[in-house]
C-alpha cells in the first residue's frame, strides 16, 4: 500500500503566465493498493472520477507502467479529494504527479526529471503546475528544445495566500481557448517587466511593488470575461489589505497575497462574487515546501 500526498498549486501569479507556480498546503491523497481489477473510490464522491476509463490518475498510472515496461493489471485507488476540481488550483497536476510517483515507487525505480516530463507532458504541458506539485515551493520554469529548465525561488515567510473559490468550474482547456494566438510587442514587454519585478520584489521583500508586478496582459484580460465581477474581486482584496491579486492558474479561483488581514480579504473577495449571485468560499493557505510525499 502506498499513500501519495500531492499539494495544490497556483500557476502564473499574474504576470508569470506559463512560467511561475507555487505549491500550497492543501493536499489530495491517493491511496494505491495492488489489485487485479481497477477499483476506484473517491471522498467526497465524484462519480465521474470513479469511472476506470476516464480517471486521470488511472490513465497516467497505466501509461507510466507501460513506460517502465511493466504490465498494468489493475489498482485499488482511494482518492481523498481536497483540491477543488477545475478551479485553477492544479487538481489535474495532483493526479498526474501522484500517478507517476506511485508507479515509479511501486516498481522501485528512481524517477529522473527527464522521465517525469516525458510522461507528464503527454497529459498536461504546463511545468508551472507540474513542478511545484512535484518539488514544492515557488518555481520558475521554461521549456527549450523539448528540455525543461527550472529553478526554485525563495518565498517570503511573511506572505500567505488567500484563495477565493467560486462555485463554478472552469477547465484549463476552455480558459486557453479564449487566448489570442499572437500578442503585441508592447504587451510582451509589459509582462517581461512585471514578472521580473515580481520575482525581485518577492526575493527582496519589497511587497509594495507586488500590486503592479502581478499585473498581466497575456491572459487575464481575456480570461476575466469568464469570471463574473473579476475587477471587483481584485479591488475588494486590495482595499482589504492584499499586497497583490491575480487569477489562480487558469481560473476560476483568484488568489491574493497578503501579510495580514487574511480573513477580511477572504470575506471581501467572497462578497464580490456574491454580488453577482455566485456562491464562493475562501481558504487561507501557506506555501508547501516539500511537494509530493510518499508513505508506505
Ligand X SMILES: N[C@@H](CCO)C(=O)O
11 is a contact residue toward ligand X (CB under 6 A)? yes
* Residues 247, 214 contacting (CB under 8 angstroms): no
Question: Which residue of 91, 129, 252, 268 would you call a contact of ligand X, by CB under 6 A?
Answer: 129
The closest alpha carbon to 247, from 239, 237, 262, belongs to 237
| C-alpha distances in Å from residue 160, one per residue of 238, 244, 265 | 14, 11, 11
243: alpha, beta or left, given left = phi > 0 and alpha = psi -120 to 50? alpha
Q: Are strands 38-43 and 75-80 parallel, antiparallel or unpaired?
A: parallel
Contact call for residues 98 and 92 (beta carbons, < 8 A): no
Nearest-angstrom CA–CA distance, 89 and 81: 12
Residues 196-235 that bind ligand X (CB under 6 A): 219
Size of the site for ligand ATP (CB under 6 A): 23
Shorter beta-carbon distance to ligand ATP: residue 125 or 205: 125
How many other C-beta atoms are found inside a 10 Å radius of the C-beta of residue 203? 13
Binding site for ATP: residue ranges? 84-94
Using the rule CB under 6 A, give the single segment among 77-85, 209-217, 223-231, 285-293 that binds ligand ATP.
77-85
Is residue 164 a contact point for ligand X (CB under 6 A)? no
* Positions 107 through 126 that interact with ligand X (CB under 6 A): 126
Stretch that binds ligand ATP, among 61-69, 90-98, 155-163, 235-243 (CB under 6 A): 90-98
- Partner from ligand ATP, ligand X, none contacting 128, C-beta within 5 to 8 A by type: ligand X
Minimum distance from CB of 190 to ligand X (Å)? 17
> Footprint of ligand X on this chain (CB under 6 A)?
11-12, 18, 126, 128-129, 172, 176, 219, 249-250
Amino acid at each position: 500500500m502506498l499513500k501519495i500526498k500531492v499539494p495544490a498549486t497556483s500557476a502564473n501569479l499574474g504576470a508569470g503566465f506559463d512560467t511561475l507556480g507555487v505549491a500550497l498546503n492543501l493536499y489530495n491523497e491517493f491511496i494505491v493498493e495492488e489489485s487485479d481489477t481497477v477499483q476506484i473510490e473517491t471522498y467526497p464522491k465524484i462519480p465521474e472520477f470513479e469511472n476506470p476509463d476516464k480517471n486521470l490518475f488511472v490513465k497516467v498510472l497505466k501509461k507510466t507502467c507501460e513506460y517502465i515496461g511493466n504490465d498494468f493489471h489493475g489498482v485499488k485507488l482511494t482518492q481523498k479529494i481536497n483540491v477543488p476540481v477545475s478551479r485553477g488550483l492544479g487538481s489535474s497536476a495532483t493526479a498526474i504527479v501522484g500517478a507517476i510517483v506511485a508507479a515509479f515507487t511501486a516498481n522501485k525505480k528512481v524517477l529522473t526529471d527527464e522521465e517525469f516530463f516525458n510522461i507528464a507532458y503527454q497529459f498536461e504541458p504546463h511545468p508551472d503546475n507540474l513542478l511545484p506539485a512535484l518539488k514544492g515551493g515557488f518555481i520558475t520554469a521554461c521549456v527549450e528544445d523539448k528540455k525543461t529548465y527550472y529553478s526554485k525561488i525563495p518565498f517570503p515567510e511573511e506572505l500567505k495566500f488567500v484563495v477565493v473559490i467560486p462555485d463554478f468550474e472552469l477547465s484549463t482547456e476552455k480558459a486557453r481557448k479564449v487566448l489570442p494566438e499572437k500578442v503585441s510587442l508592447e504587451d510582451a514587454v509589459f509582462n517581461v517587466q512585471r514578472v521580473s519585478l515580481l520575482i525581485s520584489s518577492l526575493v527582496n521583500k519589497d511587497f509594495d511593488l507586488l500590486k503592479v508586478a502581478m499585473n498581466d496582459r497575456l491572459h487575464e484580460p481575456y480570461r476575466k470575461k469568464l469570471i463574473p465581477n473579476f475587477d471587483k474581486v481584485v479591488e475588494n482584496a486590495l482595499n482589504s489589505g492584499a499586497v497583490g491579486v491575480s487569477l489562480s492558474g487558469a481560473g476560476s479561483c483568484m488568489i491574493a497575497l497578503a501579510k495580514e488581514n487574511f480573513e477580511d480579504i477572504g470575506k471581501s473577495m467572497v462578497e464580490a462574487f456574491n454580488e453577482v449571485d455566485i456562491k464562493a468560499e475562501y481558504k487561507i493557505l501557506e506555501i508547501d515546501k516539500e511537494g509530493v510525499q510518499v508513505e508506505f
